[in-house]
Amino acid sequence: MGKSRARRFRRAPFSPAGPEPRRSGEGGPEEEPAAELLEKLQHPSAEVREYACASISRLLQQKQVIPAFLQRDVVRCLGPLLMDHSLAVRETAAGALRNLSACGGFEVCDDMVTKDIMTPLVALLKECSTGLDANQLSPKKCREVNKNYIEDIANEAINLLWNVCECNNTAVYIFNKEGCLEAVLHYMKKFSTNVDLAISVANCLQAVTEDNPDLLSSFNASAQQVLENVMLCPESTMKHILLRTLIAGTIWNIKDTISPGSLGSMVNAILKIFSESLAIDAGETIIRMNEAEKNRLKLAAEATTEENMSDVIDNCVSSEDDDMEEIPKGKVGIENDISDLLPSDKWELKEVTALLMAQQTALEIIVNMCCSEDPSDDEWEELSSSDESDLFMENSYSEGSGLLMSPLCLSDEVNSAFLNNLIPKKILEKTAFPNSVALDICMHNPSWKPLIKKLNAVQCRALTCLHSLLLVSDVDCLGGASALQSLAQHLSQLVFSKTELPTDTEFLEAITGALRALLQTMASKNISQCITPEQLLALCEAAIHSSNTSVRVNVVSILGISGSVLAKGQDTAETLKMIGKFLLEVAMKESSLVVAGEALDALFDVFADGKEAEKAAVQIKLLPALKEFQPVFKMRMRKEGKGQYSTDQLCVLDNVKMNLRRFIAYQETLGKTPT
């Protein structure tokens, strides 16, 4: 307890960062019962099978219908169609399975692997890889000009592979065993002509290389060269920035394959890519891209009007019986193309989305770079009382000295690269609230509205990144005492600038985590704090009701840090009384033993020493309250401990219990027991 540790990000396959469901075209076929559609998958006509796959794909975007399809063994019905003789059927079948995996979640992905989806999927991936460079397109099969069925099928298959490998260790084992890396890297070589396929491959690579030591031996010089070629790609579109960012994350995952002599230059190259991504102002990009979209649509509308007027004149001249209903109505083929993820006229929106995903990914990887590699992911999860928790870790501080580790725990050369790329400065910029003009654009444009969530996600990731930097960076690297005080004012403004305190759980966790780490750092270096205790109390009183355990732990720790600093000052007894009462109430009434233990720990810190602390402790009757609570805490640990908390958490709680006994004994030696 006490000092926090930088958290690691695990990739979240079904968050906005993960694969989007494959969207069927507007105005698609009417809904049909699951049984009837699944029966049509066996129809001798390829067009009927394609129709059925497309209909199923659209329906599977609705979570409530997924159980009906699972009951009818949709995986085993669609699986064989991945090797159908019709390329169109293969593509729509892969798209339907992709939607099932993306919208169904972890349990559905596990079920898909259990039902052997990997066998036809691996066969499809290898066959597509073999035929990738061949001209296998038949004009009779291609209803659309310039459509490359092989690459489009590969894109759907790679996204399906990404999903199942994110969720299922067996899928990753099969990926390794079947040598899928070679096929996947072959697709990556198409990055210069098909960036969408390359991005799907990069997402998949980042997933399968995470904590997968068995795959490392497959990354020979040739494989690393493929990744290096992508990193050196000079294209400046947002999609290419996202692609380079994802590849940088993959290279970080396989860093153990890189020689020690090349490690510094490798990290420098990675950070340069992240710096490039974070340097772009997402708000200004939204404004600019939205204006570009308006101009393009305006020009398209004017051109369509002129074309239609010309058609009207021609029709009037040629026949008096023709009417306006016969006028062409645009690109019908594009509207009915069931393989499109987004309409083809949304390139500006796609570019902004790619930028935000690149920035979020870069920030998450930087967080992971700041973390020690010692604990396994399972251990991280066990140390969490929620998916986002980062409790009870004290290893970020050197034993006994209180000194912080240097950035990335690597060489001075790498640390210099970290600072030379202005990473801390750019992270700080991303912690600000999103541009209000950009938010207004998104709010009033339905297709752009999902960007608001992505903008907020970038801000929260930046705050978490800041949290990690504060824990692992030397104060001088962060700009010294004055820079930390300015940072405290900035974070204070994020919390208190609005009329009401923030309530969004993700933001609260990120901002309280950053505040906790900042106050911790400032206290350890005796840097004066510029956030008033009254402000911190107001934040804590609001946030303590959060449903997120990490938020509650953070605010309790914040009060403990602030109180321990106040205890060294003069005329602070009244404020210490307020802090003490708050922490006592949390310890006694909190439903989570984890938070209750943190509150006790905070009390020990606040009232450990100092005349003002002794005076306040007497006035709030701290000693009798703790003596009365001690057996209650022991009983709760016996009753609630087993089964509800991890072994590590129980060890920490045992330490709290022991410290409680010692603290009571210490208070008694001060002669503060009421007579």
Residue pair 366/466 in contact (Cβ under 8 Å)? The answer is no
Q: Which residue from 649, 553, 587, 575 is spatially nearest to 2, judged by alpha carbons?
A: 553
Secondary structure percentages of the chain, helix, strand, coil, to 5: 70, 0, 30
Pick the range with the lowest mean pLDDT from 453-467, 469-483, 503-517, 600-614.
469-483
Q: Summarize the confidence of residues 20-32 as an average pLDDT.
A: 49
Size (the chain), residues: 675
3-17, 102-116, 202-216, 541-555: least confident range: 3-17
Of 132, 110, 113, the C-alpha closest to 121 is 113
Give the integer Cα–Cα distance in Å for 515 and 554.
8
pLDDT, residue 267, reads 87
Question: What pLDDT score does 308 carry?
Answer: 64
Written as one string, the DSSP assignment of 533-549 is HHHHHHHHHHHTT-S-H
Which one-letter amino acid corresponds to residue 301? A
Task: Give the bridge partners for 397, in sequence order.
Answer: 404
Q: How far is CA 338 from CA 27, 240, 348, 662, in A?
A: 10, 25, 21, 69
Q: Are 8 and 363 in contact (CB under 8 A)?
A: no
> pLDDT band at residue 190, thresholds of 50, 70 and 90?
very high
Give the whole-angstrom CA distance, residue 170 versus residue 416.
40
Phi, psi of 404 (to 5 degrees): -85, 150
pLDDT above 80: residue 557: yes
Segment 418-422 mean pLDDT:
67
What pLDDT is recorded for position 22?
57
Strand ranges (E), 22-123 = none
Average pLDDT, the chain: 83
d(CA 521, CA 3): 10
Q: Of 163, 122, 201, 208, give the one whose Cα is nearest residue 21.
A: 163
Q: In the prediction, which pLDDT does 307 show?
A: 65
Q: Which of 268-272, 365-369, 496-500 has the lowest mean pLDDT?
A: 496-500
Q: How far apart are CA 580 and CA 561, in angstroms?
A: 12
User: Would you state the pLDDT for residue 505?
Assistant: 93
pLDDT of residue 385: 34
When pLDDT is averaged across residues 342-362 and rounded to a whole number, the result is 88
Q: What integer pLDDT is reported at residue 498 of this predicted model? A: 82
pLDDT-derived band at 15 (thresholds 50, 70, 90) equals: very low
Supply the pLDDT for residue 597.
95
For residues 451, 454, 458 and 463, what is the CA-based torsion angle, rounded to 10 degrees? 120
**What value does the mean pLDDT take over residues 657-664?**
95
Is the separation of the CB atoms in 205 and 246 below 8 Å?
Answer: yes
Give the model's pLDDT for residue 157: 97
| 466 within 8 A of 428, measured Cβ to Cβ | yes
Contact 595, 553 (CB under 8 A): yes
148 has pLDDT over 90: no
**pLDDT band with cut points at 50, 70 and 90 for residue 90:** very high
Residue with the larger pLDDT of the pair 310 and 68:
68
- pLDDT of 364 reads 94
pLDDT in tens, 594-629: 999 999 999 999 999 889 999 999 999 999 999 999
Give residue 264's pLDDT: 82
pLDDT > 60? residue 395: no
- pLDDT above 50 (res 634): yes
Q: What is the DSSP string of 449-517?
A: THHHHHHHHHHHHHHHHHHHHHHHS-TGGGTHHHHHHHHHHHHHHHHHSSSS----HHHHHHHHHHHHH
Mean predicted confidence (pLDDT) in 288-308: 85
Q: Say what the pLDDT of residue 477 is.
A: 75
Which of 262, 245, 472 has the alpha carbon at shortest distance from 362? 245
- Across residues 477-482, what is the average pLDDT? 84
- 3-class secondary structure, 9: coil
User: Is the CB of residue 475 less than 8 Å from the CB of residue 484?
Assistant: yes
Q: Which amino acid appears at position 328 of this protein?
A: P
What is the distance between the alpha carbons of residues 179 and 168, in angstroms, rounded to a whole number? 17
Whole-number pLDDT of residue 300: 84
- Pick the more confident residue, 17 or 457: 457
User: Do residues 72 and 34 lie in contact, with contact meaning Cβ atoms separated by under 8 Å?
Assistant: yes
Q: Quote the pLDDT of residue 7.
A: 56
- The DSSP code for 79 is G
Q: What is the mean pLDDT of residues 543-570?
A: 94
Degrees to nearest 5, angle at CA 246 with 362 and 445: 70
Yes or no: say if 19 and 102 are a contact pair by the CB < 8 Å rule: yes
**What was the pLDDT predicted at 314?**
56
pLDDT (tens digit, 9 = 90+) per residue, 234-290? 999 999 999 999 999 999 999 999 888 888 888 889 999 999 999 999 999 999 999
Question: What percent of the chain shows pLDDT beyond 70?
Answer: 79
Q: How sure is the predictor about 413, in pLDDT bands with cuts at 50, 70 and 90?
A: low
Instruction: Output the pLDDT for position 414.
Output: 53
Q: Which of 56-65, 405-414, 504-513, 544-553 has the lowest mean pLDDT?
A: 405-414
State percent of the chain over pLDDT 90. Answer: 65
Residue 467 has pLDDT above 70, yes or no: yes
- Quick one: pLDDT at residue 392? 26
- Split at pLDDT 50, 70, 90, the class of 409 is very low
